[in-house]
Structure 1
Amino acid sequence: MSDVEKQVNEKESSQHQIITEVPIDPYAPPDGGLQAWLTVLGATLVGFSTFGVVNAFGAFSDFYKRDYLSNYDPTLISMIGAIQVFVLYFFGAFSGSLFDAFGPTYMIPISGAVTSFAFFMLSLTKPQQIYQQYLTQAILFNIGATFGFFPALSVITHWFKRKSAYALGCVLAGASAGGIVFPIMLDHLLPRVGFGWAVRAIAFIVLGCYIIATFTIKSRRPPKPLPPLSRIINLTAFRDPRYALFAAGAFFNILSVFNPFFYVGLYGVATHGESKITPYLLPIMNATSIFGRVLPAILADRVGRFNVICVSVLACSIIDFAVWYPTTGEAPIIVFAALYGFVSGPFFTLMPACVNQISPVEQVGGRIGMLFATLSFGALAGTPIGGVFIKTQTREHFQSLIIYTGVLGIVGAAFLVAARLKCDRRLFAKV
């Protein structure tokens, strides 16, 4: 054998040795399989039972303002919903790191016990005693919910990578489904069985969903040691400029994105009075949001998650100005509710998917939690500030709210575009 042939053989042998020595990650997401989709099912039921209840607050708010808490200022009642989102998001910073350490085995059933207990307690609250709604609905329920909702999101990244946006879209579609089912339940049950049993019916549904989720949600990655308290809140994530810009864009958008969900019913009453369709404006918005959370997520896995979320946030502002601002009649407000529900959906779905894309897999839970903790302050301020514009329920005051909502959405879109360009400056790149 010639020297040249020996060198070639040695080189091929060396390359083969290198290839065979590359370790295979036994915990790599399989992007499918029975257990993966059972986990999606359980996580979707958790989303339905947690954020789905939060999405239904508009129906609770209307009942509180009209009847149960009619002695209190409407802004004080709206703060119940704002604090709901704040508590749910803020404790996500701790929930993410606890999930990275312990997984869903204990967190899901504990979350189910706390959330269902909170609503059973809400069913016992008395009229015109608003502190009771604050304690049960705004605080206790959402402390429990945050330790179920964020693990339900994070565990999806254990099972999916290429299809993670689609799988997360299914989970968040469950949250939209809750925003359809629970308002309609309240509208039908409140006049028939009263507030107590209407709320107990929701509590039983929450408990049943969590029982199923406890047996279907499984973790794929092994637990890791719980970090010190000083590291549970993962502030180091902001050293990544992509993450910092993305968080800023999401923060400005969260100031605005919930306003239509909270105020679309009141706007309908202000412009064309009470009608049979008014109680269904929020369910319509949540119904189209299901498609907005799933279908664009499929597209995002193909053309880029950052690309789709930037277009989605900008489209929300365009629809605010082009459709909501000039709307006065019943039919146009239905069109707005349907359009806005759809175009706002990708924002909620793709936030965790985008964080997953730019984060080390072992830090995904903590970074998602840190993002939502940051957003909690925007969620706390956004809808109450919006309510300040509505000094009286007239179209002119609502138009001030709409301008506030649309401008903040544009600012948020600008930061999200900056984050996308930080990932890849090519205009048509898949990012």
Structure 2
Amino acid sequence: MKFPVYFLLIISLLFASVPAETTDPTAAASQVEVSGIIIDPDVLMPYDTAVVTIILNNSGQEAVPINHAMVYDKDLDILTDNYEKVGSIGAGNTLKLEFTVQARDKTGIFYPVLSLDFRGAHFLRYPFRVQVQKDPIEMSVLSKPETFVEGKKDQVMIHIGNPRDNEVSGVTITANGPGHEITPVSYFVGALGSDAAADIPFNITPYGNQSVEFTLSYQNGINQHNVSYTLPIVLGESRKHANPVLSNVIVTNEAETVRVTGDVTNSGLETANGVEVTSAEPAAPIFPYKLYAVGALKPDDFSSFEITFKVDANVTEVPLRTSFKDRDGNIFTSDTLLEIPRTEKVVEQEQASPIPEKAVYLIPVALLLLVIIAIWLSRRNKA
């Protein structure tokens, strides 16, 4: 009964000593292919660094051993060492290889080559596309005032655009102008896609002629880039500024009080808010119209006003002060010199009597003489 058992053992040893049929290594290696390549960033700038991820796929039924892997190119710098011992890629499995490449000063499209050497089989050579583009993110001023007014807030619109073939990230704009009030100081845009644009407003209140520098920073993959733009600040008078002008001014000197009436017209191109008219030194404003509040005046609009004040007898000119606020609450003032007429009361009394003051006392005497002459003439006629 034991003989069949020994017989089976002998048969199994005989079959075990016969070598099994093996798959051809070249045929197995032919089932390994590059299924994908990821380049970050998609498009490099000169001297940018990119991470290249190469995905290998084994669609065969056998594991394939790989001796080493490398990437080479005469126009790009390969910063990663070669894979000297890759190992095997199992049947139906994928394998990722990462390489770091750096662009030089040349731009264009380059084709570095992936080289895989299989153990006991042939090798694989696979060129892939790397693009190097010089175009940076562009920054310009979309709108700004023709002239900055010191102490007056104005808006500057910064326009940025991405002319590149790939998206950039971490886009930030920073404004720097010593002595000026700038809001916001920085603005975070974030990602900016290919052919995309954005407009960013900055409010600038200038104090002096110091220029404002805008710095645009962004990332192309892991690479940091900066672009600068200098905005000159030229101070002057605004052409669109509100401009209250006094007209039809009538001055009435009433003993110790001077009364002034007239119209105030906004000849500017912006609304003048909170318009007020009053008198300034050496005049002393008094009731009932120490200050006349006109209110808001739109362009080409007007309103009447009336003010009263006291002034010394020897004063011949008094400034009328007009003030208003712009849309941001900044206060602007201007003075208009007003001539004060002298009083003519004494002169009018002297001109009212055509008879000299001394002649008034001679009238009774003349009348008495006329009576005496009349009596004398009547007696003479009777005689």
Q: TM-score, normalised by structure 2?
A: 0.17
Q: Which has the larger share of strand?
A: 2
Larger Cα-atom Rg: 2
The structure, 1 or 2, with the larger RCO (C-alpha pairs under 8 Å, 6+ apart) is 1
Q: Which has the larger share of helix?
A: 1
Q: TM-score, normalised by structure 1?
A: 0.16
